[in-house]
Structure 1
Amino acid sequence: MNNEVGDIKIIMSSGEYIPTPSWIHTQTEEPNLLDANTWRTTFDKNSIKAILAEHVKMNLTYEEGIKAAKLCFPYLQPFGYIRCSVPDGYCPDPSYQHTLQTQHFNSQSHTADHYKTLHNYHTLTRMFERAGYEVHLLKYFDEDGVLHQNEWTDTEGVTFCPKKNDRSYARGRIVFPSLIVSAVKPRGNKTNINLV
């Protein structure tokens, strides 16, 4: 793409999304997260400011998630980031866990509605760190079921369930909470990232 460095911001989501000025919306298949040639022919290196992955990473296995994060890495500008939102494996709500296990993870076909990986903040952080990113936790449950939430602005990447005024809350109770992180490409990163 012949875009100026830093002006590309991408929303990758297979479902409905919040229309956001200056963001490019694409389905998860475009670009294919696991196809190096698709990235190479679609984007210039260091050209992407931000990628919003709204419930996309759980459609990949853990190792596929690492590979996808590595493939994105050269195309992000320094301090560019992936804002990633996935179901939270540490959410203490039994009905939430029951819904995930019976409706989303109980399938061999792994269709769009059936996930391959249930992350918690440890696994998602480790996945991105293995690909060379610095990870900032924005919203997550810890092992004791305590919710932690840091501030961020919607201009950095709108997600469906980040804050108390969004639809993940009903009558003060979280309905379908997400684990949300920002994985940032460090400036001058010397890590040798194997893209194979």
Structure 2
Amino acid sequence: MIPASGPLRVLIGAGDQRWDGWIPTGREELDLLDPTTWAAWFGERRADALLCEHVWEHLTEEEGRAAARLCFGYLKPGGFLRVAVPDANFPAPEYQNAVQVGGPGPADHPAADHQVVYDHRRLSAVFREAGFGVRLLEYCDDSGQFHAHDWDVETGPIYRSRRLDHRNREGHLGFVSLILDAVRLSPAP
């Protein structure tokens, strides 16, 4: 399952999502709250990159901090974790209703177990406290203004992003994510 050589790029909480060059995993293989699954899966290998799209909001903030520390330990120095979550500052009421903690509708709705809706400061702090350097890629500021910095989709695609999501066309933003890269710059704090 893990390649013996070459870059190791792992998609955490993949569900049905697949990207070329990325190894998809589910909670059974890599549980963000269970270090034993990580030790068993990785062994002595360390990842070049981890990708986690719309998973972190399903953890409490404290669980998110523990998961960030766990990911830090399984990345090579210079490796990164790209994370996307719903953005607390996106100024569309229907979006905020859909992503709110507890979510709308039945228990099987994707947002039904959302624990946190992050803004850029709060999510960045989760990763900085784990020892990461943080670079915001897409986010809304406190006034709801959307910001997007150049980032290479080939280094870690996020479907729910300005460029890839089908709801974002012809200058209209129908669905955005707060996306950041958490880069392992040094040993764990």
TM-score w.r.t. structure 2 length? 0.88
Runs of 5+ unmatched residues, structure 1: none
Aligned mates of 1:155, 1:92 — CA distance in 2: 29
User: Which range moved further: 24-33 or 174-183?
Assistant: 24-33
Tell me if 1:101 matches 2:100.
Answer: yes
Q: Which residue of 1 aligns with 2:53?
A: 54
Aligned mates of 2:8, 2:164 — CA distance in 1: 28
Q: Structure 1 pair 74/190, CA: closer, same or farther in 2 (3 Å)?
A: closer
Q: Which residue of 1 aligns with 2:4?
A: 3
Aligned mates of 1:57, 1:123 — CA distance in 2: 12
- The 5-angstrom pairing of residues 1-196 of structure 1 reads 3-4=4-5, 7-17=7-17, 19-45=18-44, 47-101=46-100, 104=103, 112-114=110-112, 115-164=114-163, 166-186=165-185, 189-192=186-189
Aligned mates of 1:161, 1:69 — CA distance in 2: 21
CA contact (8 A) 1:87 1:177 kept: yes
What SS does the corresponding residue of 1:52 show, helix, strand or coil? strand
Q: Structure 1 pair 75/105, CA: closer, same or farther in 2 (3 Å)?
A: farther
Please report how far the alpha carbon of residue 191 of structure 1 lies from its aligned counterpart in structure 2 after TM superposition: 4.0
- The code of the aligned residue for 2:57 comes to M
The alignment of Structure 1 onto Structure 2 pairs a total of residues equal to: 187
- The code of the aligned residue for 1:13 comes to G
Runs of 5+ unmatched residues, structure 2: none
Cα deviations by residue, 1:70-92 (Å, 9 ceiling, x for unpaired): 11112100111110000000001
What SS does the corresponding residue of 1:173 show, helix, strand or coil? coil
CA contact (8 A) 1:110 1:116 kept: no
User: Could you say what the CA RMSD is over the residues aligned between the two structures, in angstroms?
Assistant: 2.4
Q: Structure 1 pair 140/30, CA: closer, same or farther in 2 (3 Å)?
A: same
Aligned mates of 1:106, 1:58 — CA distance in 2: 17
Aligned mates of 1:105, 1:129 — CA distance in 2: 31
User: Which range moved further: 153-162 or 137-146?
Assistant: 153-162
Q: Structure 1 pair 110/173, CA: closer, same or farther in 2 (3 Å)?
A: same
Aligned mates of 1:86, 1:71 — CA distance in 2: 18
